Amino acid sequence: MAATNTHSLTVVVTGIDGSPLVNARVTRVALDREHITVTSDARGKARFDASSNDAATVTVIAAGMAPDSREIGGNYPVRLNGVEEFVLGPPGRLGRLQQPSDPSVRRCRRRTRHPVC
């Protein structure tokens, strides 16, 4: 039997300059439509009493920034440490400016099969 990740879910919210975004509203909506909203702390962290393996949608809203939302857990890749990183940009730009593990997004500001910017 394969080992499973049982880390609780932590969301880290930063701006494009890498600084933590304090008091961002982070909402987790489970498949059964149960939703929980918490705010990020001084380090930009928001913690949920739920496994990072559980399928859900996480949405982040911060004052003066474009919101971002993504599916986690379930059939989506799960980070080994249970931490989901959200990098928010100013309104009018993509909310998900950089996905640390995906160089094509980092380079082109969008997901592409063959990055050409």
Q: How far is Cα 89 from Cα 98, in angstroms, rounded to an integer?
A: 10
To the question of pTM greater than 0.75 for the whole model, the response is: no
Looking at the DSSP bridge assignments, the partners of residue 60 are 26, 68
The 10s digit of each residue's pLDDT in 33-62 is 999 999 999 999 999 988 878 889 999 999
Per-residue pLDDT averaged across 1-20, rounded?
77
Q: How far is Cα 26 from Cα 24, in angstroms, rounded to an integer?
A: 6
Which amino acid is it at 80? L
Q: Which domains does the chain have, with CATH numbers?
A: 8-108 (2.60.40.1120)
Helix (H) or strand (E) run with residue 45 in it: strand 45-51
More confident residue, 113 or 66: 66
